[in-house]
């Protein structure tokens, strides 16, 4: 407790704020990308407070935070970056208060600017069917690519989660995701059939006698990389005339289609591995009004795709 009442900013290096920041990030267990953004935001705040002569954590006021936000605006930070910076700092101070490092939280009333986000396009079930029809079912790579894309859509996993799968994590019925958000995700009929063919026919051929534990392999029998996965998706999307499509597009389509078919948001939260319903809704671009009006007609389209 005494540590935070002493000097926390030394010149341009807020030493103790850095220590507290790292404790906070470790406690949150965020992804590497998220942790990097939060680290940058809190470091920037520390430098701003140092320039304002703030030397004690307890001396930071709401006006200081407002001044910092104004400074960010003057630097013409992108609206989405401004939101991330402000949200990160507010969460940091909330954590400090919860950990009793602060008795009064100066960020309690700190408003986070929310930029208007355009609705991201979502592939329709018909477009997904078209995408999956681009692979050559007789080739090893064609079988692999169909299994990859069908699994992405059926489970909603991230590219990183998909590529980290080991042989022991996959079966024709489900995949088991490890890491920060461990969960077991069932495969639909399309994905189950594609994965079965990949395991029985394609992967042994790609392996070429090598010893590999990773589920997904390149033509040379090496573990598939994220860059290679993105190339696979883009190549087949271009062939299908679908324009800009990524692995994230399939993940989003999975979540949106299930929600439109009547899935509960808590079910989707567990499926996609989001930390909260709030982040899930932001990801799906779902408004409060829409939460109660799922589009049942999409259920029939999605079911047809699974057959």
Number of domains in the chain: 2
Are residues 226 and 263 in contact, defined by beta-carbon separation less than 8 angstroms? no
> Rounded CA gap, 40 and 47, in Å?
11
> Is there a single domain that holds both residue 135 and residue 283?
yes
Are residues 58 and 5 in contact, defined by beta-carbon separation less than 8 angstroms? yes
> Is there a single domain that holds both residue 159 and residue 61?
no
> Rounded CA gap, 302 and 293, in Å?
17
What residues contact 145, with CB distance under 8 A and at least 6 apart? 135, 232, 236
> Is there a single domain that holds both residue 74 and residue 199?
no
> Is there a single domain that holds both residue 145 and residue 224?
yes
> Rounded CA gap, 282 and 260, in Å?
16
Compute the C-alpha angle 67/70/74, nearest 5°.
135
CATH of the domain at 17: 1.10.150
Q: Which of 156, 153, 176 is nearest to 166 (CA)?
A: 176
Does residue 110 lie within any of the structural domains? no
> Is there a single domain that holds both residue 167 and residue 231?
yes
> Is there a single domain that holds both residue 94 and residue 130?
no
Structure tokens at 269: 């939260």
Does residue 78 lie within any of the structural domains? yes
> Is there a single domain that holds both residue 160 and residue 283?
yes
Domain, as residue range, for 136 = 125-306
Sign of the dihedral through C-alpha 269, 274, 275, 281: negative
> Is there a single domain that holds both residue 300 and residue 164?
yes
Compute the C-alpha angle 201/157/144, nearest 5°.
20
* Per-residue model confidence as pLDDT tens for the chain (307 residues): 333 333 444 334 344 577 788 888 878 777 777 788 888 888 888 888 888 888 777 788 899 999 999 988 888 878 888 888 998 999 999 998 888 888 889 988 888 877 666 566 788 899 999 999 999 989 999 999 999 999 999 998 989 999 999 999 999 899 999 877 888 999 999 999 999 999 999 999 999 888 899 999 999 999 999 999 999 999 999 999 998 888 888 988 888 888 888 888 778 777 887 767 676 776 666 544 454 454 444 334 444 444 4
């Amino acid at each position: 407790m005494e540590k935070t009442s002493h000097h926390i900013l030394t010149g341009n290096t807020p030493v103790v704020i850095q220590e507290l920041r790292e404790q906070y990030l470790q406690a949150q267990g965020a992804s590497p990308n998220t942790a990097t953004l939060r680290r940058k935001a809190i470091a920037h705040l520390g430098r701003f407070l140092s320039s304002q002569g703030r030397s004690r954590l307890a001396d930071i006021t709401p006006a200081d935070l407002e001044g910092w936000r104004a400074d960010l605006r003057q630097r013409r930070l992108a609206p989405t970056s401004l939101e991330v910076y402000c949200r990160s700092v507010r969460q940091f101070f909330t954590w400090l208060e919860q950990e009793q490092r602060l008795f009064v939280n100066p960020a309690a009333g700190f408003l986070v600017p929310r930029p208007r986000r355009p609705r991201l396009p979502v592939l329709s079930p018909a477009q997904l069917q078209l995408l999956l029809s681009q692979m050559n079912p007789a080739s090893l790579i064609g079988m692999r690519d169909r299994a990859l894309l069908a699994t992405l859509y059926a489970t909603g996993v991230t590219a990183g989660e998909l590529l980290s799968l080991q042989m022991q994590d996959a079966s024709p019925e489900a995949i088991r995701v490890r890491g920060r958000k461990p969960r077991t995700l069932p495969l639909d009929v399309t994905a189950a059939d594609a994965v079965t063919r990949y395991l029985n026919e394609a992967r042994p051929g790609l392996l070429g006698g090598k010893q590999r534990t990773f589920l997904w392999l390149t033509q040379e029998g090496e573990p598939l990389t994220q860059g290679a996965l993105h190339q696979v998706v883009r190549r087949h999307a271009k062939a299908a005339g679908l324009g800009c499509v990524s692995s994230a597009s399939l993940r989003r389509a999975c979540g949106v289609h299930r929600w439109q078919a009547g899935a509960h948001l808590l079910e989707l939260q567990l499926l996609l591995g989001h930390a909260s319903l709030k982040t899930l809704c932001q990801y799906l671009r779902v408004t409060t009004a829409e939460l109660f009006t799922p589009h049942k007609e999409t259920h029939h389209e999605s079911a047809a795709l699974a057959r």
